[in-house]
Structure 1
Amino acid sequence: MEIQRAIIRLKTANTPAIVLTPENEVGTALVIHGYGGSKEEQLGLAFRIAETGLKTFVIDLRGHGENALEFDEAVLSDVQSIVSYCRSFGGKVIAIGHSLGGRLALISNADAAIGISPAICETFGGQTRKKLEELRHYRVNERSSVTLEKMLSAFPQPVFPKTHKKFVLFGSRDIPEIVDSCRQLDTDKAFEIKNALHSDIFTLDTTVSIIVRLIDSLYNKKHETLGS
């Protein structure tokens, strides 16, 4: 497998990325970190995804990691443009994201999407706001710590039509607002990971095994979960 650093140069933004290219490609994956995260945090998951045969792009969202642009609502346009860029490599594109990245994946124009602990809630309680400001805000280049909630409220909610391949994974010990919103989904495409926390769910073998099985079903027709 080839692993290299890259800059995805598009009209909306120049996005730092790490690209994992397997020997035999069957499609493309885009991996998106959460608020206050970075591409480096998702490399373990990305490697497992690339092992399934997908050329895998792990990116830094604007305002995060090596991406010098200020974090704002244009982050969604960036993701949409990168999905289109991924299509140039042929095959289906699956977007896989954690937290904010999960929300972006689920509302993107990818052929399939997996939201890991996706921030599909429109607001957070006081305790969660405090944790975000204390533990994540310092890692983001943004004007205000309330930028995230304003964006979540403005972004469209993900929909789960039977014809589209969208899935949600969340932890039983996840952020309370995320647990509540995921449990209320009117879909059979949500997987609750026992004892998983928001901060570790994307590192757990249970989570990765489900993701690999979903990918196999989409690209290799080994399982029936994703349908045709």
Structure 2
Amino acid sequence: MDIRRQIIKGDGVEIPSIVLTPDDFKGVAIIVPGYGGSKDEELGLAYRVAEAGFKTFAIDFRGHGENGSHFDENIILDLEVVINHCKGFGKVVVIGHSLGGRIALISSSDYAIGISPALNTRFSESTMNLLITAREYRVNQKYKGIIKKVIKEIPVFEFKDDDKRAIIYGSRDIPEIISVCKNYKETAKNSSIVEIYNALHNDICTLEDTFKNIIKQLGRFFE
């Protein structure tokens, strides 16, 4: 497997990425971290996806990791630049965690998997305080608390019976995320919405059950 760094450029932005390319691949995967995360934290997931036969791009969107741009509501532009780059290699699936899961689901990719996706436009005060305390210091942003504006302004994903979009969440996830995912389970009965037993919001991307469910879903997408 070939592993290398790459800066993806387009529409005036530059997206740092780590690209994992197996000898043969059947599609392209983009791994998007959550708020305060980075591509480096998602390399375990990226490697498992690449092993399953996908040219895989782990990326840093604006304000995160090696991306020097300020974090704002235009993070979706960063993802779309990477998607457009990847379409030259085949069909594209985006796999995103938390905020990354939300933008994955609303993106123009052929397929998407949202892991503990932050689908709410508002979260409780305690959840927001925890997010700001535990994650904000890792983000390059113009002012404190901009995450509230971003969550409110990014388009909301409406999950209907869609065989090109899937959700994975944890049984011990953020309460608001659990509530939204369970509601989608009731209204989109033919879609893939999987609960990972005992998974927390911050560790779900490291669990074997999550890896297995992602690989299984990729098999459905690319059968």
Q: Which residue of 2 aligns with 1:155?
A: 154
Question: Post-superposition shift, 1:47?
Answer: 0.4
Q: Which residue of 2 aligns with 1:18?
A: 18
* 1:5 alignment partner, SS class: strand
Q: Which residue of 1 aligns with 2:188?
A: 187
User: Does structure 1 residue 99 correspond to structure 2 residue 98?
Assistant: yes
Q: Which residue of 2 aligns with 1:205?
A: 208
Mapped partners of 2:6, 2:173: distance in 1: 32
Mapped partners of 1:123, 1:32: distance in 2: 21
Question: Post-superposition shift, 1:163?
Answer: 5.2
Q: Which residue of 2 aligns with 1:216?
A: 219
Mapped partners of 2:169, 2:12: distance in 1: 31
**Deviation string for 1:38-92 (max 9, x for gaps)?**
0011000000000111100000010000000000111111111211111011x21
Unmatched 5+ residue regions in structure 1? 222-228
Counting matched residue pairs gives 219
Q: Which residue of 1 aligns with 2:173?
A: 174
* 1:134 alignment partner, SS class: helix
Q: Which residue of 2 aligns with 1:34?
A: 34
Mapped partners of 2:163, 2:151: distance in 1: 22
**Deviation string for 1:118-142 (max 9, x for gaps)?**
0001111111111111110000011
Mapped partners of 1:187, 1:201: distance in 2: 23
Q: Which residue of 1 aligns with 2:48?
A: 48
Mapped partners of 2:188, 2:162: distance in 1: 12
Mapped partners of 2:86, 2:158: distance in 1: 22
Mapped partners of 1:210, 1:23: distance in 2: 23
* 1:133 alignment partner, SS class: helix
Q: Which residue of 1 aligns with 2:77?
A: 77
Mapped partners of 1:156, 1:88: distance in 2: 26
Mapped partners of 1:87, 1:152: distance in 2: 27
**Deviation string for 1:173-211 (max 9, x for gaps)?**
111111111111122321111110001001101011010
Identical pairs, percent? 46
Q: Which residue of 2 aligns with 1:64?
A: 64
Q: Is the 8 A contact 2:97 2:117 kept in 1?
A: yes
1:75-154 equivalence runs, <5 A:
75-89=75-89, 91-154=90-153
User: Does structure 1 residue 3 correspond to structure 2 residue 6?
Assistant: no
TM-score of the pair, normalised by structure 1: 0.92
Q: Which residue of 2 aligns with 1:226?
A: none
Mapped partners of 1:164, 1:86: distance in 2: 21
Mapped partners of 1:100, 1:126: distance in 2: 17
* 2:31 alignment partner, SS class: strand
* 2:79 alignment partner, SS class: helix
Q: Is the 8 A contact 2:9 2:81 kept in 1?
A: no
Question: Post-superposition shift, 1:148?
Answer: 1.7
Q: Is the 8 A contact 1:111 1:164 kept in 2?
A: no
Q: Is the 8 A contact 2:100 2:117 kept in 1?
A: yes
TM-score of the pair, normalised by structure 2: 0.94
**What amino acid is the match of 1:55?**
K
Mapped partners of 1:114, 1:121: distance in 2: 17
Mapped partners of 1:116, 1:24: distance in 2: 26
Does the C-alpha gap of structure 1 residues 161 and 177 become closer, same or farther in structure 2, counting only changes over 3 Å? closer
Q: Is the 8 A contact 1:12 1:78 kept in 2?
A: no
Q: Which residue of 2 aligns with 1:225?
A: none
